[in-house]
Amino acid sequence: MPDHVLPPVRTPFRALAQTFVPEALSLDERAWAEVEAIIEDALATRPPKLRRQLATLIKLLDVLPLLRYGRRFTALGTKHRAQFLAGVQRAPLLLLRRGVWGLRTLVFMGYYTRPDVRSAIGYRAATRGWEARR
């Protein structure tokens, strides 16, 4: 089993996740463990280099706000977190933009594929596609 990505960057990851999905503010430790397990499972088949890059991106996103706000991402309020990420998503550096969108996609996957959330939003996708809905 490959090394886990999220434990060393858990605090900034959760702050980022709560900014992407504000409903994540209400997650308890069990739900966070579920979100992180879903993401770790998806990352387990990815190359070690990609997993290291993701951890580095999360660390970078935590320290970059020091340049503008004088604080790490984890110390920012909700408004400044959202402003910072909106700016990064428009950054001239394509690799950084792609990284943020990829991280956002992982957070969405981890949050919205949990059974209780799928049920709450009425998501009924199946591996058999539309055939399963008949």
- Write down the pLDDT at residue 105: 96
Q: Tokens 């981890």 identify what position?
A: 110
Mean pLDDT of 30-45: 96
Q: What is the mean pLDDT of the chain?
A: 91
- Write down the pLDDT at residue 126: 65
- Write down the pLDDT at residue 122: 73
| DSSP summary character for residue 127 | T
Distance CA 76, CA 130 (A): 43
- Write down the pLDDT at residue 130: 66
- Write down the pLDDT at residue 120: 76
**Buried-exposed string 49-64: b where 16+ CB fall within 10 A, e elsewhere:** eebebbbebbeebbeb
Report if pTM > 0.85.
yes
Distances 35 to 27, 54, 89, 111 between C-alpha atoms, Å: 9, 16, 23, 6
Q: 43-47, 59-63, 73-77, 128-132: which has the minimum mean pLDDT?
A: 128-132
Question: Are the C-beta atoms of 107 and 17 separated by less than 8 Å?
Answer: yes
Mean pLDDT of 39-52: 96
Percent of the chain as helix, strand, coil, to the nearest 5: 75, 0, 25
At 30, the pLDDT band (50, 70, 90 cuts) reads: very high
Q: Tokens 């503010």 identify what position?
A: 25
Distance CA 38, CA 94 (A): 27
